[in-house]
Structure 1
Amino acid sequence: METQQILSNASLTKTEKIRQLLALGLTRRQVADLTGGNYGFVQNVFARYWPEQVRSRRADASADIFRFIPFNRKFGVEIEAHNISREALAEALRQAGITVAVEGYNHTTRRHWKLVTDGSLSGNNTFELVSPILEGQAGIDELQIVCRVLKQKNAYINRTCGLHIHFDAVNLELAQVKNLIVNYARFESIIDSFMPNSRRGNTNYFCKSVQGLADQVDQARTMNGLISLQRTRYQKINLQSYVRHQTIEFRQHSGTIEFEKIANWVLFLHNLVEFSRTKRVEASAATMQSLREFQQPEIVTYINNRISDLAA
């Protein structure tokens, strides 16, 4: 098939269109421009089907190498917003092919998306939209559909809204989770710089800094011991979700229904988790330059653009 035939073929998923366009010999940038402009997801597809060509990068000044891996992680999202009734939004999502139910407040993981109440939110017709377990590129594609519906139905965000990301932590070892907390804490000032002021430092009750927790992690000898060091789940990393869901929850991001923001944040966190499997950055080395060494160029570009936008 030629380029236009691939793009216009409604029977192909976005992932398959990207794969076929790459197979034609188009560059990743060309394919990204043709399929919506998200280079990160094109890179994911490229890494899945042509793993031998995936670029490797140095993770620090030594000879250690950080290797990017395809985004194949199990994850979940919680999107807080307002301005549309849960029933009306559920109907719109169903029409877009998303399986969803309107439910009361609960923490039960479903096989479908659920629209629940959240007493911490302000505004008219507030809601929290919680995903089922999503996985890899297929999960990202489904998330994009959901974000499109939210925009079409004029869902709004305000300062009380947040975005929470859960990552499956079943296969993470204790030392790796410790590294993750320490690395997040040491890069926290940089992460803060591409978040609104309301989500930085200790300014938000629902996503406090993890720097104090990072100072204590090496006291723990078991996962339960590590979790017990965290006195509240309202921190930028919530370990207490491991008890109920065997996930680690990332709570810092501000509320958004914009697919680009959510997707780039998910990929940023994915890279941070993978980096933390084998690395713990020294406090003095936690710079933007060292962060670049385990993030794809398009993620770094996105971060720099966010920093500039928020500083304006």
Structure 2
Amino acid sequence: MESDKVVEVAGLHQRYGDFEAVRGVSFEVSAGEVFALLGTNGAGKTTTMETVEGFRPAHAGTVRVLGRDPHRERRRIGGQMGVMLQESGLFPELTVAETLDLWCDLIPGARPRDRLLERVGLAGQAAVRARQLSGGQKRRLELALAIAGRPRVLFLDEPTTGMDPQSRRATWQIIRDLAAEGAGVLLTTHYLEEAEQLADRLAIMHRGRVELSGTVAQVLAGSGDRISFRVPAQVAVAELPRLGGDPPRITATGGGPAATYTLPGPLLQQSLRELLNWAADRRLELAGLQVRSASLEDVFLRIAGRPAAEEARR
């Protein structure tokens, strides 16, 4: 039986001279799945993507796309892959329609040009030269080129950079539709909301390693919910209650010190009740009171802030 894994990465290592940029990265992407590869600056995310896309060989470990080595066997699988790079080389003097016509002539069984234009929202720009497009429109044209060949696996590197919110959400729907049609999608993004909205699963890289992976719910599970408020002027920080057995984290803001409690989900309601009772007993108003679930941004910032000394011990 044919595997539904369209991307398989196991123990990938990549080096630049003595510097090891990727250190034992492993993940898989299935057909019909959107997998987000996230990373801090310098995490090795771009190097990993370039390797999986077949632009460089692996120094160690294995990489398979549609069951084949994407670097050595690129000709055998290239027609089944769609790649949207961070910066693609459009011909500035060609119109949008001419760009797609040129590309589709090279691809057997390509989607009809007019349907591609409609799908990416560029039907009204068919006669516009590429150099006259906005940044977001160029990204939509590059997406059209990536999906022209009905790919089984799609690599999207920062696909919505430069797009306005409306275009970004329209692009999200295109990506969802492509996955629903059976394509496996591996994307990178700096927009964490984008990963939360799109990804069936994700991995977060830092200093060349995958630090966390799983569904969004699994990644957020250990992060806890948040209760925060500005500390009343008449209350010393030491007088604040301990919720869930722990004191709050205090940060400086323009309106004075703010207290933040991080709590496991089951303790949130009880802890909030304790806090409100504590404030009521003292006739205090908790300005800026917020209660929110953990976000991917919280997880990402925690990983990004991990000291290098801690990494060296791993």
Give the TM-score taking structure 2 as reference length: 0.27
Give the TM-score taking structure 1 as reference length: 0.27
* Bigger proportion of residues as helix: 1
* Bigger proportion of residues as strand: 2
